Amino acid sequence: MKQTECTTILVGKKASIDGSTMIARSEDGGRTIVPEAFKVVMPNDQPQHYESVISHQKIDDSDLLPDPLRYTSAPDASNENGIWAAAGINSDNVAMTATETITTNSRIQGIDPLLEKGGLGEEDFVTLTLPYIHSAQEGVERVGYLLEKYGTYEMNGMAFSDKDEIWYLETIGGHHWAARRIPDDAYVIAPNRLNIDEFYFETPGFMASNDLQDLIEEYHLNPDEPNQYNLRHIFGSSTIKDAHYNNPRAWYVHRYFDPDFDGQPGDQDQPFITYPKHKISVEDIKFLESSHYQDTPFDAYGDQGTPEQKKTFRPIGINRNFETHILQIRNDVPSGIAGVQWLAFGPNTFNSMVPFYTNITTTPASFQTGPKFDLNKIFWLNKLTAQLGDTNFRVYGALEEDFEQKSLAQCHKIQHDTDKEAVNFSGDELQDKLDAANQKMADTVYNNTVELLGNMVKEGHGLMTLKYDLLD
């Protein structure tokens, strides 16, 4: 079973540089490499009968609704442990990312335990939700229904977006849940902890299991003042692990968006809803999803800290990044080109994102990863550049910066040209146009990555330990 430990970033439409909504997540795994792919699921390919591979939970056919929508996904390449669709945008321009592994505590587990048999998990949620929803709020309602009916065996957070709204949902115990709409002018950083803090029942912008408030009162779960609900305090954790593994990631993001942000990396009560000092771009999100505490003593590649400090906190960019996405719904273009799934595979310190249009019928071959090592696939190529780059970041990091800026600029140019040309197309012709643009961007980034690898080999030639020269 794959355990993903991710980092989620959400950006409301008034907090983004171009008025789009953006929901992003790095899909991280454990010590075993988990190859990820990029696929389009057509309505006829959506399962008509469903059983989870991990839990063997069967879904009633009546809950696999008629007329599913087409959607993109980033599934595991092997399918050994199920689909794990991870993230995508459907043909109604509704996006979903699932899931962020989060924390819990013994109090709620003693009341509504996680299931030991059956139930749904990260393997299932996108496949059972994204093709059936027509708005971000419908995503919350759909997952809430599934959780209450089938339950879950793990704690997870997930996000939904459309052109106007972003909602973030967290599972609570085996059958409960809560969700909050993210304000349009705010951003969220959600590491692997229960993240929702202030919560107002029966208030617009907040949704939860019908009995959640009664459950809090009945079992005396609220440690704060009466009628003041902080779900992180009630259902989450505040542990030493949080102080080293989770909270520092939030601290670094807050510090990036607000240099005057007050606090320490391990602080337990860092805010869930936060307001940036400047408009947020895709490049900002990519930098943060690649970050490793640059310009602090905690940077594993830096020269400020001691060896102990460099290992103190878990960074966002890490060797266990296997797939990272930014799901963008744009508001300044026609609906046929509004959905963009920015996608990168492998460790984020040595890759570049590609802005794939999602109104498509196929994906580029280099992003259709197979489970075996294959340098024709961008996933495996990125893994190679990252592992080589990690041997001497001071030398190879500068090459990566040039590569990423070049790749993003070229993709932006292709996207701008395609946006302008797309107004003359519709239906199948538009999809063919977008398929071609996606292929061009995938080829561009693949070729740039090969060039990066070649430049790294050239730079590294003289740095090898196994060398001998009479002039040395």
Give yes or no for residue 293 having a pLDDT over 60. yes
At 4, is the pLDDT very low, low, confident or very high (cuts 50, 70, 90)? Answer: low
List pLDDT tens digits, range 78-117.
999 999 999 999 999 999 999 999 999 999 999 999 999 9
6 labelled catalytic: yes
What is the model's pLDDT at position 207? Answer: 98
What is the model's pLDDT at position 1? Answer: 43
Choose among 137, 143, 192, 144: nearest CA to 160. 137
Across 2-11, 204-213, 308-317, least confident range: 2-11
List pLDDT tens digits, range 119-144.
999 999 999 999 999 999 999 999 99
Give yes or no for residue 471 having a pLDDT over 90. no
What is the model's pLDDT at position 2? Answer: 46
Question: Would the pTM of this model clear 0.95, i.e. be above it?
Answer: yes
Lateral strand order in the sheet of 87-89? 87-89, 95-101, 156-161, 166-172, 176-181, 206-208
Q: Is 411 exposed, middle or buried (0-12, 13-18, 19+ CB in 10 A)?
A: buried
Mean pLDDT, residues 53-71 taken together:
97
- Tokens representing 168? 């973030």
Q: Active-site residue among 5, 6, 95, 352?
A: 6
Mean pLDDT, residues 451-469 taken together:
94
- The rounded percent of the chain whose pLDDT value lies above 70 is 99
List pLDDT tens digits, range 263-273.
999 999 999 99
Average pLDDT of the chain to the nearest whole number: 97
What is the model's pLDDT at position 469? Answer: 80
Mean pLDDT, residues 146-164 taken together:
98
Give yes or no for residue 278 having a pLDDT over 70. yes
List pLDDT tens digits, range 345-399.
999 999 999 999 999 999 999 999 999 999 999 999 999 999 999 999 999 999 9
Give yes or no for residue 304 having a pLDDT over 50. yes
What is the model's pLDDT at position 88? Answer: 98
Mean pLDDT, residues 424-450 taken together:
98
Region 7-365: CATH code: 3.60.60.10
Give yes or no for residue 298 having a pLDDT over 90. yes
What is the model's pLDDT at position 5? Answer: 81
Mean pLDDT, residues 292-320 taken together:
97
